[in-house]
Amino acid sequence: MARPQPSSSQPASDSRRVSPRAPTEGRETPLSQGLGQFLKRYWWLGLSGFLALLAALAVGSAVNLLRLPNLPNCRAIFWPTASAATRLQCAEAYAAQGSVDGYLNAINLIQSLPQDHPLHPQISQHIETWSRRILDLAEQSFQAGQMAAAIAVARRIPIQTAGALMVTKRVGQWQQIWKEGETIEQGVDSLLAQLKFQEAFTQATQLLDLDNTYWKTTRYNQLIEKITAARADLDKLGKAKRLGSQRTLAALQEALALAQTIDQKSPVYGEAQRVIQELSQDLLAMARSALEAKNGLAARQMLDAIPPQANLSEPIADLNLILDASQLAWQANVAGLEGAIARLQTLGNDRPLYGYAQNLIGQWQSETKQRAHLDWAHQLALRGTAGDLRRAIAEAEKVSSDTAVWSEAKAAIDGWRQQIQTAEDTPLLTQAQQQAAAGNLTGAVTTLTRIGPDRSLYSQAQTLKERWRSDLERKEDGPRLTQAQQLAMAGRLAEAIALASGIAPGRSLYDQAQANIAIWRGQQGDAPALQSAYQMAQSGTVTGLVEAIKIAQQLSSSGGDAGQANQAISAWSFDLLRLADQEALLNRARAITIVSQIPAQSQAYAEAQLRLRQWQTP
């Protein structure tokens, strides 16, 4: 086909021109020429394809619009006259929602079509598919633990569908699984009630074998948490029991606080209530013991610590009343006792502590009579004369010794007897003191012997007797000991020992005399040895001085003439130091040997150590 020429209306300059810089520009290749000829000849094919594409897009959009049940198309359709295709399209749109109601609406929309309808096979397939999906949704509810909802959903499947045949079987499976889960759970609760935690845990793990996600996860985790919490509660209860065994108020209060934290839903709750009851009974018993020990404050604190859930309100109220009455009785007078009795008489015979109260009333009535005797005895003793005191003692002795008043009566009687004895023995004590002041120590001691050991002034009399007897013995034995000491100073040791030995054991100066005798006997034995040491030292040699010092050291440590021996040691040590100084000029090593033998107890020791450091320094 020849290329058309440019029209006359177009200038010649508009035709293709060849650029001098691009000699090939404007030329057509054989491929481009062929494509252009094809398009010009078959242009109508391209237009037809384009129109077909537009039509397909329009049809697809219309179908999608028809599938949406919310669009006016499906909502406004008059279904008795609607076509099967329209019903199917709207049913698919309902089913596309993926909900139970959506699937049921879809089924209801198309299931009324006759079986000889051309679309019946497609419609039947849709109905069965949607029925199975409804059952799948019910299965999801069952797996999520919504048993009733799952059954309700499954039973909404139309009975004329094939899916309806599976409902009864599936629901039966669900009910069996659910029953197994409940049976396992009941077994766990039963084991927990028996505090068998390991068996309960083993039983709980059987839930993991059930074909249900809810029982394998949620209910299983709940049971494990329940077992763990129960074990923790039991540990808590064990700690409460250990605290309770201490039987102190603070420990029991802490134990009760622990036991009370155990929740009512806990398997250990029943045991916790039993422990609370036992601890409360302990507090009640301890409060009663504190009451009997007249410790009202402690008794009140123990009663206040008992929790209301112990159901001990009646005995607590009774014991509080008894405590109030007892505090009146503890005033130790007739008025207080009578008030206490009146208070307890208000406690009826239907009360739990009625018997205990009656025993106290009997004791206090008896004590009232006994205290009347003691009160009258105190009145008699007011003037303080010997006769009045004896009458008071006679009245107080009427108090029975098996009553609480006896201890007071006994103390009063002892006090009044001491007053009587003091009044009777004081003149003897005065007489003895006057005799001693006059120098008659023998007479004074004799006078005090008339005060017997059961008398109130006996200890005072004994002290004076011992002092005056000691003074008398010193007066008698003192000259003898002084004369013996004078003989010893004169070297007459044997005579001194014989004279001092005349002081008998038990006398005041006996111990001093024996000490002097021991010294004098030691001096008798040490004299030859000390004399031998002096003879050795007279040689003036290092060997002689060292041997003399050794002998003197033995005498010093043996308790003999230590003073003389120590003086000799110091003197001989200075002699050794002088010899060491002389030897150091010729032989320093020999000088070191000499000075090293000077003993530490001598006065020359410090100077000897200074020499030693000097000579040992290079």
Average pLDDT, the chain: 79
Joined together, the tokens standing for residue 271 give 């045991």
pLDDT at 12: 33
Written as one letter, the residue type at 467 is: R
Angle, CA of 409, 412 and 418, to the nearest 5°: 140
Residue 238, Cα to own-chain centre: how many angstroms? Answer: 13
Report the pLDDT value the prediction gives residue 317, as an integer from 0 to 100: 95
The candidate with the shortest Cα–Cα distance to 93, out of 64, 119, 120, is 64
- Secondary structure element (H or E) that encloses residue 61, with its range: helix 43-67
Q: At 450, is the secondary structure helix, strand, or coil?
A: coil
Cα(539)–Cα(542) distance, integer angstroms = 9
Quick one: pLDDT at residue 275? 94
Q: What is the pLDDT of residues 189-245, one digit of tens each?
A: 999 988 899 999 999 999 999 999 999 999 999 999 999 999 999 999 999 999 999
In 3-state terms, what secondary structure has residue 230? helix
Euclidean distance between CA atoms 122 and 87, whole angstroms: 12
184-204 pLDDT, tens digit per residue, is: 999 999 999 888 999 999 999
Q: Is the pLDDT of residue 320 over 70?
A: yes
Kindly provide the b/e burial profile for residues 373-392, where b requires at least 16 CB atoms within 10 angstroms of the residue's own CB. bbeebeebbeeeeeeebebb
Q: What angle do CA 325, 328, 331 make, to 5 degrees?
A: 150
Cα angle value 82/86/88 (rounded, 5°): 120
Q: Which of 48-57, 340-349, 447-456 has the lowest mean pLDDT?
A: 48-57
Residues pairing with 19 in the sheet: 22
The residue whose two tokens read 């076509």 is: 83
Mean pLDDT of 155-164: 69
Which range, 95-104, 123-132, 426-435, 531-540, is most confident?
426-435
Angle, vertex CA 328, rays to CA 322 and CA 331, nearest 5: 140
Report the C-alpha gap between 294 and 407 in whole angstroms. Answer: 15
- The residue that leads in pLDDT, 57 or 348, is 348
Cβ atoms of 364 and 358 within 8 Å: the answer is no
CA distance 576 to 144: 113
pLDDT value at position 84? 63
- How far apart are the C-alpha atoms of 65 and 89, rounded to whole Å? 10
Q: Average pLDDT, stretch 263-287? A: 93
Tokens representing 307 are 């929790």
How far apart are alpha carbons 373 and 405 in whole angstroms?
A: 10
Residue 497 pLDDT more than 70?
yes
Average pLDDT rounded to a whole number, residues 362-388: 84
- Paired residues of 22 in beta bridges: 19
Residues counted in the chain: 618
**14, pLDDT greater than 70:** no
Assigned token pair, 116: 């000889």
- Asked if residues 380 and 355 have their Cβ atoms less than 8 Å apart, the reply is no
Mean pLDDT value across residues 365-384: 83
Q: Measured between alpha carbons, how far is 22 from 439 in angstroms, rounded to an integer?
A: 169
How much is the pLDDT for 274? 94
Q: Give the pLDDT score at 528.
A: 67
Please tell me which residue, 22 or 255, carries the higher pLDDT value.
255
By the 8 A CB rule, do 192 and 234 touch? no
